[in-house]
Structure 1
Amino acid sequence: MFLRRTKVRRGNIIYEYVRVVENYRKNGKTHQRVIANLGSIKSLKKDVANIIKGLCRICNREDLNVENLKTRGSPRYGDILAARYIWKELELDRLIAERMKHTKVKIPVELVSFLMVVNRLVDPKSKLAISRWYKEKIYLPELEGANFAPHDFYRSMDCLEKMKENIEVFLYNKLCNLFTLKLNLVFYDTTSSYFEGEGPSMAKHGNSKDHRPDKHQIVIGLLVTDEGIPIAHEVFPGDKPDKATVVKAIDDLKKRFNLKRVIFVADRGMVDKTTLDYIKDQHYSYIVTLRKRHLNEAKEAIKRAANDLEEKRKNYEEKRKNEEEDKRKKKEPLFCEYRPKDGPRYLVCLNPEKKKDDEIYRASRIEKGKRKLEKIKRLVETGRLKDREKILKKATLALDKTNRKYFSYSSSEEGSFSYSLVRETIEEEKGLDGIFIIKSTAYDLSPQELIRQYKNLSQVESAFKEIKDFLHIRPIRHHQDYRVRAHVFICVLSYLLEKILEKRMGEAHLDMTAREALDKLDDIRIAKNQIGPKTLLCPVQGDAEHRKILNAVGIKSIPRVLLS
């Protein structure tokens, strides 16, 4: 039986009625007959709710009465669904499941691993808290009836950590197919992450990039593409120098990924002559920057470039006065190249805006130092400070490492005090204002390309910032080395999902970051509506922008109702 709307014309007026009809077959044909007339639609409007309630009561179907509907929660769905789609697109579900097929582990390691990774992505919590979080805060069809205990998460971490190297190689090959990835340029950097308390055995005191030398830490090395997609990472003891981690990164590229020709890009602090020679021995090229304290080796290049760069700087300033240049061109550094007959090439670059900043900063440090030394001079002249040793000690303490090099000061046995500027140091610094030097054995790249790839090194810095600030690598609550390695791996996998989401946004020409897309998808929740013994799961359908994000990921639609 079903309802049918019927129209009846009486004169110039059309009346609409509601009838209950049913289909029946006669002589092999389908016919309809009226079971009951419910009256005109106009008269029914005020009574329709009472009629439905009455029918539910008479037919003992109170579960259909909307007044009995109770909403039991609204777990997140949109962002989880998008992350799950990318996870499956990378075939991580298949890979991990196959790896676990012939083990004695009975828990679904793949699904539990995904829960830990997606938790880092959208709502970072401890592994203990995740065992409650997934039941109450998110929805996935695969989680129906799942009941994972905290030890299931720890067991899955252990399994995941053992698969790390195989997963990284598998993902590299998969990414090459998905995005026609060409790993001819790789970027490498390290960071540190500290522990509250002792931490595991690999946690040591070292060079803290979190400015916490008092804490035990680990060192993390990360290799990414020029788009910032993570390829491989390694966790080292906290006292491992940066330079000592590079050989492991190079060996990974050579042996695990079988890469024949690669340009290795790193900050100058990551490498020394031995490391650069090792890179060369592997038939790889490199792009590194020289720190100012290491500029002696490029002295000839700087000397040759000085006049040319000054001329280019003047032309640049003149152009800025006379014409409106676009913002991109304003930020392009000026450069001069020096290629010795043997050995690496040097690119001496000048950033005019940075040159001004350096001048202003130095002037402020000198002015601050002058004020403090003048104050000491007045104390000496008024007789309030007389002892020579005390005068010199006070002057030393008055200056700091940012301005001490600019001053020379002395005090006589009689207790007088004088100071002067070290003009040679100031003039030497002025010649290096706004200067940075790129050293490279990538002879086939143009100077502009060298500069662009040097700037791309910030991709690794962005990765570490994201892993620390948004994916919350800290606090690390584990006390075994292998669990710490697993925790870092989970954070890197989470970052990989984020970068692929960001890439999908770009391909769809959506002007938003992955983080903004995830925040937007958080609007798509599941309303858990209970009517009697049944639970109806009703996803929020979202607006046009939500649909664009989901379509960019590859999700064409979401169901209107899910039964539980």
Structure 2
Amino acid sequence: MAWNITWRKPHKKKYGYLKRSYRVNGRVKTDEIYIGPDEVATKILADLATRELVDETDITYSGEAVLEKIADSLNFEDILIKYTGDERASRALKNVIILMTLFKESKRRLFLKRLDKSILKNSTDITYLGEVYELMDLVYKCLGDIMYDMLKNAIKQHNISLKYLLVDATRFKVYKDGETGLIKFGYSAQKRRDIPQVNLVLGVNEQQIPFFVSAHPGNTPDVTMFGDFLKTMRSKYRILNDSARHKIIIMDQGNVNEETIRYLRWLVRYNFHFLSMVRSSSVGRFAKNLDKLEIDLIYTREITKNKETRIYGKLVEAEVYGRVSHVLVCYNPDVKQTKNNSLDRRVEIVKQKVSSLNKKGGSLDGKCEVVNSLIAKHSLKRAMEVIKNEEDEAIKLAVNEEDLDSRRKKFGFFALFTHCDMTPVEMIKVYKSRDLVEKGFQELNTDFSVCPIRHSEDRRIETHTIFKIYGYFLVSILRAILKDGGVEHSFRELLHTIKSGRSVVGYYEHELCKEQHLHVNRQTNMWHRHQQPQRQTPRQQRQPHRRRRAQRLRSQSRAGHGSLRSSQ
């Protein structure tokens, strides 16, 4: 039972007591500890708040408790028991996944450091570090089934939206020297082929709750990954096939080719729809005959209080990859202005480089090589050519204005195409919703820290990745529950909030408390969200320096004027 502080004034003096009440056989019993007059009692209370305790342990309690409640609402432990057949192992796995969600640390550190200070310690029966990896191996072959059972229970227990299922793929780097069955050198977002990676297919709803996840070797093409996704959906995820009204696969232009589109059109028979962006090199043929005055406003988004971005669009019928499709030609004037400014800046950089090289000595071949390298860097090969002038011992720059003008005419335009009947507003809205999947990948890379992956065996790399998705699932369920209650958090804010509750527990020693073994649970670092120090932008960080510099200049100016007046 908790002790309460009680003050008494029997003889015009203030005396402090620690008091607690409890019941024994229905009768109320009371214990008291006298802690002295006002001055002594105040000092003891201050010691209770600040002094190091005997056998002191720093525990985080709110994060584990909250996520454990969410996991229990999904019967997560029972699901694990179903596939492992071991209650002890299932409870330990559940606790490990919760700790992996809260802390960006290796499993070695989680086991050796975090678990020892966690309230999950007593319910986690793991005797040695290697047992963590053995437990991971128990569920390796049924990771997808566990995810599906979690989803079924979540739909039964919580308000989960099934209006849209948005699917996309990404890649995670793995720091290994060579390839394995899962780790392959693939084509990364950084346009590099020398990075070992794992491919991941993720499906989320509009609440950003993951519905589906699967890992693939790093060199697996998108067509193969989406094919495996379809087979899994048809064979296992019946609840999504029956309940999700729209299953939409959204493709970026980087993944679009004739083979991929042919496969996506084949998926229509299974009630899968697709929406894809046309490659930028092909947008010109749709936009060349389009009058900007004829297109309607289809999308607006406020950027700042006094600024918003607008997208105009017109739906046309055109042939795309051998079949007539619905093509939405869109125009964004803000993007046009930004790209025009960027092009002018790149052209000017090359011109200034040529001018500076002509003022210096050196061989013409060396100068041409430097300028050609700069032209290639700024993607201006078709618009610029370097010419050597042997007589003047200088180089000249020939600019193809027609090429630059043709580029400027395409700036601001992009096109979307699909096979299904959708209005322009619906098409742009659905395409913009792809940000939900992209945000999910971003959260996995940052707040949930899928990388770095500190495993060498394929099965453990895949299990580690899917365990992170399980944690992402638990936090997204909590986030959806809070949003239904009118409280909105980003994933980062929510993780910080549930981790910020901490306690120091231990025993307080004092001569007045010799007969009572006084156990203390002291809360620390209980920051309210609005009391957290706000992160400053680089401009705000520079403000104090600017103010000090301005004050210094003003003081110097006053000193100068003073001496000037005195001399006059």
TM-score with structure 1 setting the length: 0.74
> Per the alignment, do residues 295 and 404 of structure 1 end up closer, same or farther by CA in structure 2, a change over 3 Å counting?
same
User: What amino acid is the match of 1:425?
Assistant: D
Match of 2:177 among 184, 189, 197: 197
1:367-406 per-residue CA deviation (whole Å, 9 max, x = no partner) reads: 1111112334445xxxx4565x445434312423324233
Equivalent residue number for residue 137 of structure 1? 117
**Aligned residue in 2 for 1:153:** 132
TM-superposed deviation, 1:45: 4.4
Query: 1:361 and 2:342 equivalent?
Result: yes
Say if 2:497 is the partner of 1:509. Answer: no
Partner in structure 1 of residue 257 of structure 2: 272
Please name the residue that 1:430 is paired with.
Answer: 408
Partner of 1:80: 64
The Cα shift of 1:243 comes to 4.5
Aligned positions of 1:448-459 closer than 5 A: 448-459=425-436
Q: Is the 8 A contact 1:268 1:289 kept in 2?
A: yes
SS in 1 for 2:184: coil
Amino acid at match of 1:440: T
The partner residue of 1:263 within 242, 248, 252 is 248
Aligned-partner Cα distance in 1 for 2:340–2:211 = 40
CA contact (8 A) 1:246 1:270 kept: no
Say whether the 8 Å CA contact 2:256–2:279 is kept in structure 1. no
- Going from structure 1 to structure 2, the CA distance change for 1:366 and 1:93 (only over 3 Å counts) comes to same
Measured at CA, do residues 250 and 147 of structure 1 come closer, stay the same or move farther in structure 2, by a change above 3 Å? closer
Q: Which amino acid aligns with 2:104?
A: P
- C-alpha change, 1:145 and 1:294, in structure 2 (3 Å) is closer
Could you say if the C-alpha distance between residues 294 and 151 of structure 1 is closer, same or farther in structure 2, counting changes exceeding 3 Å? farther
Say if 1:349 and 1:292 are closer, same or farther in 2 by CA, change over 3 A.
same
Residues 273-352 of structure 1 aligned to structure 2 (within 5 Å): 273-283=258-268, 284-295=272-283, 299=285, 301-308=286-293, 330-340=308-318, 343-352=324-333
Contact 1:116 1:490 in 2 (8 A): no
Residue pair 1:87, 1:93 contacting (<8 A) in 2 also: yes
Asked if 1:42 corresponds to 2:11, the answer is yes
User: What are the equivalent positions in structure 2 for 1:370-381 lying under 5 Å apart?
Assistant: 370-378=351-359
The residue aligned with 2:161 is 181
Given the superposition, is the C-alpha separation of residues 43 and 385 from structure 1 closer, same or farther in structure 2, using an over 3 Å criterion? closer
Measured at CA, do residues 440 and 164 of structure 1 come closer, stay the same or move farther in structure 2, by a change above 3 Å? Answer: same
- Bigger drift between 389-398 and 271-280 goes to 389-398
SS at match of 1:339: strand
Residue 534 of structure 1 and its aligned partner are, at CA, apart by 6.0
Query: What is the SS of the residue equivalent to 2:220?
Result: coil
Deviations 1:437-468 (A, max 9, x none): 1111231x321121111111112221122111
CA–CA separation in structure 1 for the residues paired with 2:187 and 2:66: 38
Deviations 1:185-222 (A, max 9, x none): 32312123121434744322222236765442222222
Contact 2:144-2:213 within 8 A present in 1 as well: no
User: Contact (CA 8 Å) 1:221, 1:233: kept in 2 or not?
Assistant: yes
Decide whether aligned partners of structure 1 residues 350 and 54 sit closer, same or farther in structure 2, where only a CA change above 3 A counts: closer
Once residues 44 and 402 of structure 1 are traced to their aligned partners in structure 2, the CA distance between those partners, rounded to angstroms, is 82
Q: Give the drift of 1:226.
A: 2.9
Q: Does 1:254 align with 2:230?
A: no
Question: Partner of 1:401 in structure 2?
Answer: 377
Moved more, 228-237 or 196-205: 196-205
* Match among 426, 434, 440 for residue 418 of structure 2: 440
Judging changes above 3 Å, is the alpha-carbon distance between structure 1 residues 249 and 145 closer, same or farther for their aligned structure 2 residues?
closer
2:308 is paired with a residue whose SS is helix
Q: Secondary structure at the match of 1:395?
A: helix
Change (3 A) 1:197 1:539: farther
The AA in structure 2 aligned to 1:41 is P
Deviations 1:237-296 (A, max 9, x none): 222344543322333333332427622112122232222222222222201112313436
SS state of the match for residue 82, structure 1? helix
Deviation, structure 1 residue 305: 2.5
Counterpart contact for 1:205–1:217, Cα < 8 Å: yes
2:248 partner amino acid: I
Give 1:406-555 correspondences, 5 Å limit: 406-411=383-388, 417-443=395-421, 445-530=422-507, 536=519, 538=521, 540=523
Verify the 8 A CA contact 1:192 1:209 in the aligned structure 2. Answer: no
Asked if 1 retains the 8 angstrom alpha-carbon contact of 2:164 and 2:206, the reply is no
CA contact (8 A) 1:247 1:275 kept: no
1:306 deviates by: 3.8
Moved more, 468-477 or 207-216: 207-216
RMSD, aligned α-carbons: 3.8
Counterpart residue type for residue 473 of structure 2? L
Does the CA contact (< 8 Å) of 2:81 and 2:87 recur in 1?
A: no
* Cα distance, 1:536–1:515 mapped onto 2, change above 3 Å: farther
Alignment match of 2:73 (pick from 57, 78, 89): 89
For the residues of structure 2 that align with 1:325 and 1:131, how far apart are their CA atoms? 45
The runs of 5 or more residues in structure 1 that have no matched partner are 1-17, 19-39, 56-65, 547-564
Q: Cα offset for 1:543?
A: 8.2
1:47 CA drift (Å): 8.4
Question: Which amino acid in structure 2 is aligned with residue 290 of structure 1?
Answer: V
Give ranges in structure 2 of 5+ residues lacking alignment: 1-7, 19-31, 37-47, 509-513, 530-568
Deviating more after overlay: 208-217 vs 463-472: 208-217
Contact 2:501 2:526 in 1 (8 A): no
Correspondence for 1:100 = 84
In structure 2, relative to structure 1, the CA distance for the partners of 1:357 and 1:327 (3 Å cut) is: same
Tell me, in whole angstroms, the C-alpha distance in 1 between the residues paired with 2:131 and 2:207.
35
Structure 1 residue 507, shift from structure 2 partner: 1.4
Query: Which structure dedicates a bigger proportion of its chain to strand?
Result: 2
* Alignment-derived partner of residue 561 in structure 1: none
- Residues of 2 paired with 1:495 and 1:145: CA distance? 21
1:10 maps to which residue? none
8 Å CA contact retained: 1:189, 1:270: no
Change (3 A) 1:211 1:114: farther
Give how far 1:154 is off. 0.6
